[in-house]
Amino acid sequence: MERCEVYLSEESVQELMRRLSRIEGQVKGIRRMLEEGRSCDEILIQMSAVKSAISSMAMFLLEEHFNSCVKPGVESGNVKALEDFMRAVRQLVKGG
Amino acid sequence: MERCEVYLSEESVQELMRRLSRIEGQVKGIRRMLEEGRSCDEILIQMSAVKSAISSMAMFLLEEHFNSCVKPGVESGNVKALEDFMRAVRQLVKGG
Amino acid sequence: MERCEVYLSEESVQELMRRLSRIEGQVKGIRRMLEEGRSCDEILIQMSAVKSAISSMAMFLLEEHFNSCVKPGVESGNVKALEDFMRAVRQLVKGG
Amino acid sequence: MERCEVYLSEESVQELMRRLSRIEGQVKGIRRMLEEGRSCDEILIQMSAVKSAISSMAMFLLEEHFNSCVKPGVESGNVKALEDFMRAVRQLVKGG
């Protein structure tokens, strides 16, 4: 069986949803700023905030994923979990 | 008068809106993936895509801003445009 | 036993050394450019090149490390290898 | 005349040299760690440190460059200084 059996905890998913809602609000903010003709540097600052929020959320997910899926998966002999993890890490590092 | 007089062109704003719509769709995609219990590495890949899209959009905005606001502003003696630009660059570089 | 037994292959170490020599040359280049009073934007471009080279070298090391240490380590039951790897990933992601 | 007339101050160059010496020391450290067969995650951590140091040095140079070259250049009507600056910013942002 290759998929991760033990998924993220309910608390982790809730925390991710909360973070995602904030990000959705921030993205809506960019749209509003463009519509209102706000100055470009203010919009760029808002974009940086979105990127930081996603980076932080991605790192949080990676940690949760590692703790609740990769480690238990590997301990029960699932080497595929390790390959999946490496693929995700590669994306995260290259994604900047 | 300190604000940028010559704003982004209509085409630039349209292009930014198009990019923003794609980003909003990608963010919705993350929510759906979390709800469906999709594997963590797929979600991380999607997050990297969002970050790349925002980075690319930010660079596009910076270029447009530079061409349609900073350069003309500076040419007409608006040094404030330069300070605003530097503040935006600082954010963009530090924002990763 | 917690340390990685199977170290990087000779070829990997040689490749890393080659990359490091290039990076050392690039860093020397920055010093020379500063001494010669070269324009700031040329120096910044050279700095970006060094950062790219280190990022690329770090990703190369992470891949080699994963293949020759983490995977074999985990397969022979060394969970510590996994924790070390996660610590390195964390650094790499946060290091930008 | 297109080149930046007012170069970085002596203090700025000294500070840049100090930072560069530290970076050279850190890069030598990577070589030594590879030669000593140090664990991969320690080497990756050292690499992240070098990248952070270069990023910080690049931002410092950008600030100094902006203050001592771009701003005075622009104020005395040198639009070329602005284009050079934008080219550097582009590299810095894309360089990650």
Say which residues have a Cβ less than 8 Å from residue A36's Cβ, sequence separation at least 6: none
Q: According to the model, what pLDDT value does residue D88 have?
A: 82
D contacts of C13 (beta carbons < 8 Å): 34
Sole residue written with tokens 């997050």: B47
Please tell me the predicted confidence (pLDDT) of residue D1: 35
| Whole-number pLDDT of residue B68 | 87
DSSP 8-state class, residue D37: T
Give the ipTM.
0.80
A8-12, B2-6, C36-40, range with the lowest pLDDT: B2-6
Residue A2 included in any domain:
no
> Measured between CB atoms, does C17 come within 8 Å of chain A?
no
Identify the domain containing residue A30 by its residue range: 10-94
Distance from CA of A68 to the nearest CA of C (A): 13
Residue D3 domain flag? no
Report the residue of chain B nearest D90, measured CA to CA: B59
Are D44 and C54 in contact (CB < 8 Å)?
Answer: no
* Below-50 pLDDT ranges, chain D: 1-3
Q: Tell whether D24 is within 8 A of chain C (Cβ).
A: yes
Name chain C contacts of D52, Cβ cutoff 8 Å.
Answer: 95-96
Structure token digits, residue B60? 């596009």
What does pTM read for this prediction?
0.81
Neighbours of D37 (CB within 10 A): 12
| Residue C22: C-alpha distances to residues A26, C63, D74 (Å) | 42, 20, 36
**In Å, what is the CA distance from B12 to each residue of B42, B55, C49?**
32, 16, 30
Asked whether residue D2 is domain-assigned, the answer is: no
Residue A29: closest CA among chain B residues belongs to which residue? B20
Which residues fall within 8 angstroms of residue C94, CB to CB, at 6 or more apart? A59, D48
Return the residue in B1, B24, B31, B40 with the most chain A beta carbons within 10 A, the one to mutate for interface testing: B40
Inform me whether the C-beta atom of residue A44 falls under 8 Å from chain B C-beta atoms.
Answer: yes
pLDDT of residue B87: 86
pLDDT score recorded for residue B8: 84
Structural domain includes residue C83: yes
Inter-chain contacts counted by CB atoms under 8 A, chains A and B: 129
Of A19, A43, A39, A40, residue with least CA distance to A31: A43
pLDDT at B38 over 80: yes
Asked if B92's CB is within 8 angstroms of A44's CB, the reply is: yes
Residues in chain B closer than 8 A to A20 (CB atoms): 27, 30-31, 34
Average pLDDT of span B60-82: 87
| CB-defined contacts C:D, below 8 A | 129
Q: How confident is the model at residue C33 (pLDDT cuts 50, 70, 90)?
A: very high
pLDDT mean over B67-77: 86
Q: Tell me which H or E stretch contains D16.
A: helix D10-35
At residue A95, the pLDDT reads 67
Q: How far apart are CA C59 and CA A8, in angstroms?
A: 27
CB D83 within 8 A of CB B63: no
| Chain B nearest-CA residue for A34 | B13
At residue C96, the pLDDT reads 60
Query: Is residue A89 in a domain?
Result: yes
Give the CATH number of the domain where residue A66 resides. Answer: 1.20.58.1000
**pLDDT exceeds 50 at position A1:** no
Nearest-Cα residue of chain C relative to residue A78: C75
For residue C57, name the pLDDT band (cuts at 50, 70, 90). very high
Q: Which residues of D16-34 are buried (b: 16+ CB within 10 A; e: fewer)?
A: beebbeebbebbebbeebb
3-state secondary structure (DSSP) of residue D78: coil
Percent of chain B topping pLDDT 70: 92
pLDDT given at position D87: 86
Least confident stretch, A24-38, B43-57, D78-92 = D78-92
Residues of C with Cβ-Cβ distance to A79 under 8 angstroms? 71, 74-75
Q: How many domains does chain B have?
A: 1
For residue A7, count other CB atoms closer than 10 A to its CB.
17
Question: Which of A1-15, A22-36, B66-80 is predicted least confidently?
Answer: A1-15
> Which residues in chain C have Cβ-Cβ distances shorter than 8 Å to A66?
86
Which residues does chain D have within 8 Å of residue C27's beta carbon, measured at their own beta carbons? 20, 23-24, 27
Question: Which of the residues B55, B66, B94 would you substitute to probe the D interface, choosing the one with the greatest number of D C-beta atoms within 10 Å?
Answer: B66
Residue C17, domain member (yes or no) = yes
Which pLDDT score, from 0 to 100, does residue C2 have? 43
Q: How far is C77 from chain D (nearest CA, A)?
A: 18
* Shortest alpha-carbon distance between residue D48 and chain C (Å): 5
